[in-house]
Amino acid sequence: MLVQSLSRLRGVLKATGLLPVVKRLLYAPREGDGVMADASSLRYRIKALIEQANFAAVTTVHDLPAIHEYWTERHIVPQLRHLGYESVECFFVENLLRAFATSSNKLLRCASIGSGNCDFEIKLARNLLARGVSDFVIECIDFNAEMLDRGVKAAQAEGVASRIVPVRVDFNHWVPEGRYDAVLANMSLHHVVNLEDLFDRVKACLLSSGRFITSDIIGRNGHMRWPEALEIVNEYWSRLPPSHRYNRMLAKQQDEYVNFDCSRSGFEGIRAQDILPLLVERFHFESFFGYANVTECFVDRAVGYNFDPARAWDREFIDRVHARDVEEMNAGRIKPTHMLAVMSAAPTDRAEFIAPLTAAFCVRPPTSH
């Protein structure tokens, strides 16, 4: 009931135009915040309620500006194709099939962490069925009842209800039941507080042929920029016309880039910078694709809607920023903020990446500030 009330309040704030004002207050930096890693504290429970309310009425989670699609299709998809994949969905499907191919299970089991509305899992299920794989279930793990209910209805409408199993639980406290052929995490790990325990549980529940398949954000906590990347962001921000510096999420003109912390109100990016180092400590990488950093600041929801891919200047600006991103990442001066990865609990002979960006190379040293 409280979640529904908070969700309705959020809807009223959005309808009246006050939501950006509230966000500005929540994102305002305060002394002594630090990283919250206690998943049993009162502060955690309050943030959990806010997180559920934020997503309870969200039917399209990954809606992004048109310029983001332009950047993805022009620059990111060609890199994926170099690795043999046409899309993120293809990355998951092909690696699921690899895990299934060596499984001895009669019923192939997957767990998907933070599945939300289950839209991605439903697509995977339909794709697997089209590829001739029918004996599988995907357990969709999320703590938002409203989103899981939408997922169940969508699975029924798409004819894959028997493949989609909703599991309502906070993934910070998820205890796997049995062993899995694959554990999936699509843009959910950056919402997790208890990463260490979650990764240990994932590793323990994987079959010997099992794989941990992820797509996530691995930059600084709260999706902030580290100083070395922030310097480059500011360089390009200063070249933007005023019309392109308007923050749509905060309804505020930002003539100077504001490096705000998105984890202030909920769990967005709460421990993003810890994801990759902890995975490198615990798993063996079969495939790793690291990408994006500075470019993300110009194609995201905050200012990305100010860009129009139909305008030559807008396209060329994003092309230049992306080229700088690649140059700086390849030199190791900045690190990727996004990844696609396939991991196993045991050593593997497969090593798929675009040199020099291995998983270990892309870890930002914790002693840097």
pLDDT of residue 46: 57
Task: List, for residues 253-279, the tens digit of each pLDDT value.
Answer: 999 999 989 888 788 999 999 999 999
On whether the CB atoms of residues 90 and 83 are closer than 8 A, the answer is: no
Contacts of 239 (CB under 8 A, 6+ apart): 317
pLDDT of residue 266: 81
Peptide bond before residue 227 is cis, with ω within 30 degrees of 0: no
Task: List, for residues 14-67, the tens digit of each pLDDT value.
Answer: 455 544 444 444 444 443 444 545 555 555 555 455 555 554 454 454 579 999
pLDDT of residue 21: 43
Q: What are phi and psi of 317, to 5 degrees?
A: -65, -50
Task: List, for residues 208-249, the tens digit of each pLDDT value.
Answer: 999 999 999 999 999 999 999 999 999 999 999 999 999 998
Nearest C-alpha neighbor of 149 from the set 166, 162, 132: 166
In three-state secondary structure terms, 247 is strand
